[in-house]
A and B are shown apart, each in its own frame.
Chain A
């Protein structure tokens, strides 16, 4: 087989891209298997060391924080609950509101859609004080509800679902109506299965979005039992040990590697549908 020079260049670029993505992760992983002292004295590592099990065990189970009670495992659970709640509710709410906007032809559907769309210009960071005020007035600080609820509306997902529903031919609805489907069963029996690839794609986006939230949980939670992974990354191996002992670099790397696992799992599990959802629609 003859390989054209252009192909070689293309492959080199692609390989470089892959290396750019993978090498930092590999270094983190390799470094997480050494002793902190080794890393501090010899720098980051490319090969696997012998401290792997010890480091990870320590990270997962060591109690930290001011109260000396919160473990990384607990933070993973918190993050997972938060991301799952945000992603699930975002998908459900956006799909249903898009359904209402497309299929219930009330006069204000278009203005309401644009109103929803405009909220893209007002992300949580911009409205963080009013949001905090509302949540704290409702007494939801330090609760999963408080972590999840202010983030469940999604203009992006609503927009995508709306565009998708608009491509579904009217005859399908009419035919379903004649077959005795009501508004609810049309949604469940038709729109949900037809948009499952879209749902998977949105779920992944929203899960990663929820998982990587930093500012909101930081403001929302005062109790350590609600700390999330991303917050922990900042807090757990710095403040409480600062000045007391050597920086625990190896454990930090272990922690970073662990923190990547849940979103990676979600992507791996849903990727088949995710790619379909991005490149084609089943019609």
Chain B
């Protein structure tokens, strides 16, 4: 049995909403797991069930070999960082960090030692006497993490902790969280709807949709090998291009082009997925793109345009290529990196 084990966990709210469907998942000790999905997909509910803040309707949660279902949140030895940090507004930073330790009956010297260590680690030693209202967003974030770290819990839970920060700070804190987790080595679950955060932070990530884990794997596995239309569309930025097509006798026919010798016996209507970065310009390529708009990001250009059938399409090319609005590009798919999904079920077929 691994460190944290979820077995057929289901959550049905009293009003009948099924938030999480029979989810099973194992997380190893020291692993950084990210739950990613659109809002309302059940990822936070799953996290809150691990924390004990939501009752488990069905299934079991085991942490470190102990069944957690009926264990009170205060007894679970988990720490959580909330989206709005939930700092204690009437306590200064020191007491924010110390509160959980005091409740566990730890003596004063040890508390002081631990709080100071955590503060040093997070570089908040200078603010220990301040109230949370006197801190900036980034500092509050650190205090919230300090409050989690100082207790030395079995598991860290992060519930979209970066979504209240501005873009620059978010990237910085993302790095710091990752570094910190590596340094402290605590098993962590991080919930986010931001796929970039998910990709960068995760050892493994679980893509969740409608209360079901659509795919579980390392970020690269999921990026390279999405198992479903949803995962393919959710992971990767800019989003994967999707084109309608039909698969018959290992030949895919889409609007305006065909791909032969496809590694699939599936026959019927399909959706073809191509990532914007898996294309290159060539003469007489498969895809003809009429350029509407070019976003120059410096390192890359994002080229938005339309195919023959007026379908929106995006192509990503190196920043040194000059592409003009209104140009016609001929594109090929690199290394046969395309994905074919059953149109009705969204399952991958190639």
Interface residues of chain A, those whose CB is within 8 Å of chain B, are 169, 171-172, 174-182, 185, 189-190, 193-194, 282-283
Which applies to chain A's interface (DSSP): helix, strand, loop or mixed?
helix
Which applies to chain B's interface (DSSP): helix, strand, loop or mixed?
loop
Specify the chain B residue showing the minimal Cβ separation from A173: B86
Question: Quick check: A178 and B80 within 8 Å, CB to CB?
Answer: yes
Question: Quick check: A179 and B82 within 8 Å, CB to CB?
Answer: no
Specify the chain A residue showing the minimal Cβ separation from B99: A179
Interface residues of chain B, those whose CB is within 8 Å of chain A, are 51-53, 72-74, 76, 78-80, 82-84, 86, 88-90, 99-100, 103-104, 147, 151
B residues within 8 A CB of A194? Answer: 89-90
Question: Quick check: A179 and B90 within 8 Å, CB to CB?
Answer: no
* Interchain nearest-CB distance for B305 vs A (Å): 45
Specify the chain B residue showing the minimal Cβ separation from A196: B90
* Interchain nearest-CB distance for B132 vs A (Å): 10
B residues within 8 A CB of A179? Answer: 74, 99-100, 103, 147, 151
Question: Quick check: A193 and B73 within 8 Å, CB to CB?
Answer: no
Tell whether A180 pairs with B86 under 8 Å between CB atoms, given A174-B53, A185-B103.
Answer: no
Question: Quick check: B74 and A172 within 8 Å, CB to CB?
Answer: no
Specify the chain B residue showing the minimal Cβ separation from A190: B88
Question: Quick check: A178 and B89 within 8 Å, CB to CB?
Answer: no
How many A-B Cβ pairs are below 8 Å? 60
* Interchain nearest-CB distance for A60 vs B (Å): 42
Question: Pick the contact of A171 from B79, B82, B99, B147 — CB < 8 Å?
Answer: B82
Question: Quick check: A189 and B99 within 8 Å, CB to CB?
Answer: yes
Chosen A-B contacts, 29 in total, with CB atoms closer than 8 Å, are A169-B84, A169-B86, A171-B82, A171-B84, A172-B86, A174-B80, A174-B86, A175-B80, A175-B147, A176-B88, A176-B99, A177-B52, A177-B74, A178-B52, A178-B53, A178-B74, A178-B76, A178-B79, A179-B103, A179-B151, A180-B74, A180-B100, A180-B104, A181-B74, A181-B103, A190-B90, A194-B89, A282-B89, A283-B89
A residues within 8 A CB of B79? Answer: 178
B residues within 8 A CB of A178? Answer: 51-53, 73-74, 76, 78-80, 100
B residues within 8 A CB of A175? Answer: 80, 82, 86, 88, 147
Other than A180-B100, A194-B90, give 8 A-B pairs with Cβ distance below 8 A.
Answer: A169-B84, A174-B73, A175-B147, A177-B73, A178-B51, A194-B89, A282-B89, A283-B89
A residues within 8 A CB of B104? Answer: 180
A residues within 8 A CB of B151? Answer: 179
* Interchain nearest-CB distance for A240 vs B (Å): 53
Bound: A178/B80 CA distance, A = 7
Bound: A51/B101 CA distance, A = 64
B residues within 8 A CB of A174? Answer: 51, 53, 73, 80, 82, 86
Bound: A174/B72 CA distance, A = 11
